[in-house]
Amino acid sequence: MIAVIDYGVGNLFSVEKALLQFADDVVVTGDEKLILAADKLVLPGVGDFGECMSNLEATGLIPAIRQKIADGTPLLGICIGEQILFEGSEESPGAKGLGLFKGMVRRINAPGLKVPHMGWNSVNFSEPKYPLFKDLGEHPYFYFVHSYHCVPEDGSVITAVTEYGEQLTAAVAKDNVMATQFHPEKSGDVGLQVLKNFIEM
């Protein structure tokens, strides 16, 4: 079973719809028992870092999520679901993230370009290519909507980057935790391939 974690934010049902193209057992849930029983977890998120963390804390699900990660369950974070895996964000000073990745979320510095960064951007993968991006060609385009990006302390966790005024982190991974700044569920066939790869991991 794949559990899409429902904590009151995120593009939950478009994520569910995309996952259902490759798996029958997908649930959108805030039920701790279902999350603990899941084979894989998806953590979506849209909006404000602090609001997302506040909502997640209010559900009481954080201990269950941490337990599943410690047990080796694969977790995929999407958009703000990636950002809250870090320690904190310039967007919400004082709000603590989950701290699964060391580092901070910084505002995009793109003089002369509009922020938020909205639209399609090409992505460059780290070598060797992380399994989440198996069977994708070079420099595919993904859909982004964000004003902030993750800046890990350890650059080796970065699995993909994109360019928008500066080099931005497009995806990260460490052990069984992986995440994308872009929205695979809104990125056409290449995004669906990412979700398919996650299901098959």
List active site positions: 79, 183, 185
Q: How many CB atoms lie within 10 A of CB 33?
A: 9
User: Rounded to an integer, what distance in angstroms lies between the CA atom of residue 198 and that of residue 196?
Assistant: 5
The token pair at 65 is 């999520």
3-state secondary structure 88-135: EECCCCCCECCCCCCEEEEECCCCCCCCCEEEEEEEEECCCCCHHHCC
Sign of CA dihedral 110, 78, 191, 183: negative
